[in-house]
Structure 1
Amino acid sequence: MLDTDHTRDALLGGLIHLEQPRRGQRASADAVMLAAAVPARAGQQVLELGCGSGVGMLCLAARVPKARIDGIELQSDLVALCARNIAANDMEDRLRVAAGDIRKRVSGITPNSYDHVFANPPYFDSLRHRASPHAGRATARSEADEADLGHWIAAMLRHAKPGGGLTLIHKTDRLADLLAALDPKAGAIRVIPLWSKAGQPAKRVIVRAIKGSRAPLTLDPGVLLHQPDGSYFPEVDAVLRAGAAFPA
């Protein structure tokens, strides 16, 4: 039975059903777009770091039905919630969540073994931004002193197999830090700006990279999200409401 602290919602036009906190960290367009940008194929092994209630894992699983996806989550209440969401969507045969700290070895999660690793790291440096008064949301959105962006990138690199893919979404103003953390252990980096509206600076970027590659960085033209009337462009709407792959 659903308690008053949680809501039950539908994602991807009803392809996914999700129980999530009424307050705190909830499903976002960023998490859905990130999952759509992971270039996973059927039969591959994928890992999400900081999977929360399971939004990214579930959305990716809906798009790539035969991928096997693991998740690591620090907050014990979200681990339990993610497990319930996996069961509610009948995906227990290929999705699983493990409780753990991304900086440490997590039981059942093998380093150097995943075809793809993806993450939506906390966006805000706690020294420069006021943390949310909600503890769970603060943990999800703000870097802790002991787990900064460098730790997230290091964990992605540690778990990807040689030649494995890395995909993440972050704020544009953290791009320099992100690229510095990837160098020199990953290459073939693609930076995909997300333009909210034409003529405005990109506030988000999706970054893809290949562990161990020496190929040069590519700056993509990016994706324009909103039309002048504020609605999503059709190809972006297809990502958010129908589970399509990201158009870049």
Structure 2
Amino acid sequence: MFAPDELTSDGFLGGRLTVLQPRRGYRAATDPVLLAAAVPASAGQSVLELGCGAGVASLCLAARVPGLRLAGLELQPAYAALARENAAMNGVALEVVEGDLSAMPAALRQSFDHVIANPPYYPAGGGTGAADPGRERAMREETPLATWIEAAVRRLAPRGVLSLIFGADRLPDALAALDGRMGSSVLLPLQPREGRPAKRVILQSRKGGRAPFRLLPPFVLHEGAQHDGDRESFSPAAAHILRNGGEFPFRLI
């Protein structure tokens, strides 16, 4: 477990949430906040987050949509404990279960209206590993992306929605993993700035959906052609999500 001096206290959603995170381990940035803003959940529904880390995505979703039944699965015990502490500190009922998504714990072998995930960004092998083992495990793929998606599909109720955020370079793998059980898929490219290639994407798909695939216009995160100083440069739409806890200005699915 993390010692108190190994943690920082960080604000999310303009200070609406206070989250403890490890100084040198995996630290949530914008991805879990953007993921939460994309989930088309409503009060009374159930949501499972695979690989919940310190719980940021689930907590951001709870701040926007009260009355959800939230559960999280986390492989690393120290992060699972941190997610529970963060949930309690923010008054959110989040059940966090330790375990491996490739061998789903019995407590989570049930159906959910939504499954969400921010899978590891870097592929296995190659590159320079992180010095902190917790960060390395959170950021580098050990379990294939196809296994993440298979675990999510199994946990979805009929007509349930899968929401993922991941690197744009993994899109072919993700689409290949969506079999005949999933459909009505929607893809949102996340563009750092106008004219720049999208580095992240949000992909949503409905279990049993039959609507055609939709590619949405890019969502631009920052204003200006380049970073021009020590200040925030989020676009108004991005700031509404990241600072005010808003949802995307269009319905993804």
Q: TM-score, normalised by structure 2?
A: 0.92
Q: CA deviation at 1:17?
A: 0.9
User: Once the two structures are superposed, what CA deviation does each residue of 1:43-72 show, in whole Å capped at 9, x if it has no partner?
Assistant: 100010000011011000000011111000
Q: Which residue of 2 aligns with 1:37?
A: 38
Number of the residue aligned with 1:99: 98
Aligned to 2:119: 121
Deviating 4+ runs (over 6 angstroms): none
How far apart in 1 are the matches of 2:49 and 2:36?
9
The answer as to 2:245 corresponding to 1:243 is: yes
- Residues 151-182 of structure 1, C-alpha deviation per residue, up to 9 Å, x if partnerless? 10011101110110000001111100000001
Q: Distance in 2 between matches of 1:128 and 1:29?
A: 25
Q: Deviations over 1:64-121 (max 9, x none)?
A: 0111110000000011111111111112xx321111111112132133x111100000
Q: Calculate the aligned-residue CA RMSD, in Å.
A: 1.4
Q: Is the 8 A contact 1:236 1:247 kept in 2?
A: no
Q: How does 1:58-137 map to 2 (within 5 A)?
A: 58-91=59-92, 94-111=93-110, 113-137=111-135
Q: 1:9 offset after TM fit, Å? A: 1.3
Asked if 2 retains the 8 angstrom alpha-carbon contact of 1:16 and 1:89, the reply is yes
Whole-Å separation in 2 of the counterparts to 1:171 and 1:10 = 25
Distance across 1 between alignment mates of 2:246 and 2:68: 16
- Quote the residue 2:213 is aligned against: 217
Q: Which residue of 2 aligns with 1:175?
A: 171
Shift of 1:246: 2.1
TM-score if structure 1 supplies the norm length?
Answer: 0.94
Mapped partners of 1:135, 1:84: distance in 2: 21
* Percent identity of paired positions between Structure 1 and Structure 2: 47
1:139 correspondence with 2:137:
yes
Report the Cα offset of residue 216 of structure 1: 2.0
Task: Give the deviation of 1:134 after TM superposition.
Answer: 1.1
Corresponding residue of 2:193: 197
Which ranges in structure 2 are unaligned for 5 or more consecutive residues? 228-232
Cα distance in 1 for partners of 2:37, 2:108 equals 23
1:157 and 2:166 matched: no
The one-character-per-residue Cα deviations of 1:199-246 (angstroms, maximum 9, x if unpaired) are 111111000100122322111112111111641111110110111012
Deviates more, 1:26-35 or 1:121-130: 121-130
2: CA distance, partners of 1:202 / 1:42: 32
Aligned residues: 243
Q: How far apart in 2 are the matches of 1:123 and 1:27?
A: 13
* Secondary structure of the structure 2 residue equivalent to 1:127: coil
Q: Is the CA contact (8 Å cut-off) linking 1:172 and 1:205 kept in structure 2?
A: yes
Paired amino acid for 1:108: A
Q: Distance in 1 between matches of 2:196 and 2:57?
A: 27
- 1:143 aligned counterpart, secondary structure: coil
Give the whole-Å Cα distance in 2 for the aligned partners of 1:116 and 1:49: 11
Deviation at 1:128, TM superposition (A): 3.5
- Distance in 1 between the 2:117 and 2:249 partners? 19
How far is the alpha carbon of 1:2 from its aligned partner?
Answer: 6.9
Structure 1 counterpart of 2:180, one-letter code? P
Separation in structure 2 between the aligned mates of residue 139 and residue 2 of structure 1, nearest angstrom: 19
Structure 1 pair 2/246, CA: closer, same or farther in 2 (3 Å)? farther
Structure 1: gaps of 5 or more residues: none
